Amino acid sequence: MSDPQTLAAYAARAQDYAADYTPDSQHDADYAGFVAGLPEGGTVLDLGCGPGFWAARFRDDGYRVAAVDASPEMAEVALQTHGIEVSIAEFDDIEVSGVFDGIWAFFSLLHAPRDDFPTHLFRLRNALKPGGRLCLAMKLGEGEGRDALGRFYAYYHEDELRGILKVMGFTVETSRYGEGKGLAGVEDGFVVLTAHA
């Protein structure tokens, strides 16, 4: 994610985001379903880790976690709040092959332009070990746009996401719909897909 407006919005609100961000229990099932297919002590990439909540949870549950985010401000919050060392990187910077048992892309790739999305998934597919798992959470809708904070979003329907994942070599195992209020204070519909390479 290299959109200046999106990065500026997160930079200005990093502390508030960390203070307010307490994932509700509806995401416990997503987490449990994802880690159920990981080997004990497996390696997880938290892509777009934000303030580090999920990365800390992976770590505390015994997984080796690589936390990545494009926002230096979010990385600093993750370090100060959870002791998580975050690599400052964008989606295009994921260039490893066969490294991760799982990739947690939880409401991060929704900031990528639609034209770039398949390429990012291809990179993630390559970064996984054979049979590795992906958890992908995205907002539902059509097209692209900005929210009230100026953040860029790309929106999808589940069948569209399934089609792109299939082309990129993923097999979807489960999907779940939900609604949640984000940093902008608006209730949005979303879908969480768990897949394997």
What CATH number is given to the structural domain containing 148? Answer: 3.40.50.150
Interior/surface letters 105-124, b for 16+ CB within 10 angstroms, e for the rest: bbbbbbbbeeeebeebbebb
Alpha carbon distances (Å) from 147 to 111, 174, 184: 11, 28, 7
Q: Range of 160's domain? A: 4-196
pLDDT of residue 163: 98
pLDDT of residue 84: 97
- Give the angle subtended at the CA of 149 by the CAs of 145 and 151, to the nearest 5°: 45
Measured distance CA(99)–CA(195) in Å, rounded: 17
Query: Cβ of 70: how many Cβ atoms within 10 Å?
Result: 20
Report the domain count for the chain: 1
Identify the three-state secondary structure at position 57.
helix
pLDDT of residue 12: 84
Q: pLDDT (tens digit, 9 = 90+) per residue, 70-94? A: 999 999 999 999 999 999 999 999 9
Query: Which parts of the chain have pLDDT scores under 70?
Result: 1, 18-24
pTM over 0.75: yes
The pLDDT, as a whole number, for residue 31 is 96
